[in-house]
Amino acid sequence: MVDPVGTYSIFQGLWQHMVRIGVLGTARVVPYGLLGPAKETQGVEVRGIASRTPQKAEEFAARHGIQRGFGSYEALLECPDIDAVYIALPPALHYDWTRRAIEAGKHVLCEKPLAENAGLAQELTLFARRHGLVLVEAMHVRYLDRLCRQRELVAGGEFGRLLRVESCFRAPYIPMAKHDFRLRFELGGGAALDVGCYSVSCLRYMAGEEPEILSVRHKCSSPQIDRWMRAILQFPSGAEGVAEFGFRGFYLPRGGVVVTCEKGWIKWDGKGLVYEKNGNLGHEALPSASTYQLQLEAFAKSIRGEESNTLPHDDAVLTARVLDAVYAKAGLALRGTPEKL
């Protein structure tokens, strides 16, 4: 016989631990960056989505099985049935709406970059801490099995001292409309904030140190809008770093991290890692887990106060500082500041 009191207690416990998420924006990343992973993540539910127009929000909600569409971002933030917000807006809007979400008492998972520059990112990080809320930059690549295992091998010392790290994220050439936010300075456009943050975040993580920028080569698709960059960096330990990224270049697409150590090298391949150690070649196959789901699981655990592998609270700020320095070395204006023509 089923104990009704016990059954009620179980469901009450599940409800109390459910993280109810609302979404700001209907960007292309929302279905694969949040909605799909949420269906596979226990204790997470997407309750609503907001757009600047009610019709767009309602159509998106109906198409993706979301309970409710909100005709304004403000309306969603005022909803008491939402605990956390996923922000999928152009970079120039991240600071303002992350701050408003925190003021409304919501935890925030904000698409990369957290803000247009390091100063704004640091303000948000401190603001969230003062309010006792979880704020995470959605840097899903940091949950890649290949990256984490590569870092483990380097940190373990079996390959000897780290000499060089090259982190490259070159996206395929993608035609973009003139109004695309990635091509507009005032909306936080440019390759550095779009894919460069991946490259720099992986570079910092692999080295375990904060680098100095030595030189930068770059190409622009229009004034102040970088479409490709290659930065040479130096870490305090003496290791060299290379960060390359782009989204409108006439090159072969490439993504991954290559490390060179005293006793060999390690790089990614389609199924895991390939390496050479002491002159011997090797391969290590790794499982292919959803980085977006791992990211969401970590975010939800942090909200519940459980132990998680979510990124350090200042990680987004440190990545932004490197990107700021790259822009400065290239002679380009920081996003979020007056444009210099």
What is the DSSP secondary-structure string of 211-260?
A: -EEEEEEEEEEETTEEEEEEEEEE-TTS-EEEEEEESS-SS--EEEEEEE
Question: How many other C-beta atoms lie within 10 A of the C-beta of residue 14?
Answer: 11
Rounded to 5°, the CA angle 165-168-170 comes to 175
Rounded to 10°, the helix 118-130/315-330 angle is 160
Peptide bond into 113 cis (omega under 30): yes
Looking at this protein, which amino acid is placed at residue 297? E
Kindly state the tokens that stand for 233.
């960096």
Residues 6 or more apart in contact with residue 108 via CB below 8 angstroms: 84, 85, 86, 87, 98, 101, 102, 128, 133, 134, 135, 136
H or E segment and range at residue 62: helix 54-64
Tell me the Ramachandran region of residue 73: left when phi exceeds 0, alpha when psi lies from -120 to 50, beta otherwise. Answer: alpha
Strand order in the sheet with 264-269: 212-222, 225-234, 240-246, 162-170, 254-261, 264-269, 272-277, 280-285
Find where tokens 């070159």 sit. Answer: 170
* Residues that are catalytic: 112
Q: What tokens were used for 105?
A: 């008492």
How, if at all, do strands 107-111 and 225-234 pair? unpaired
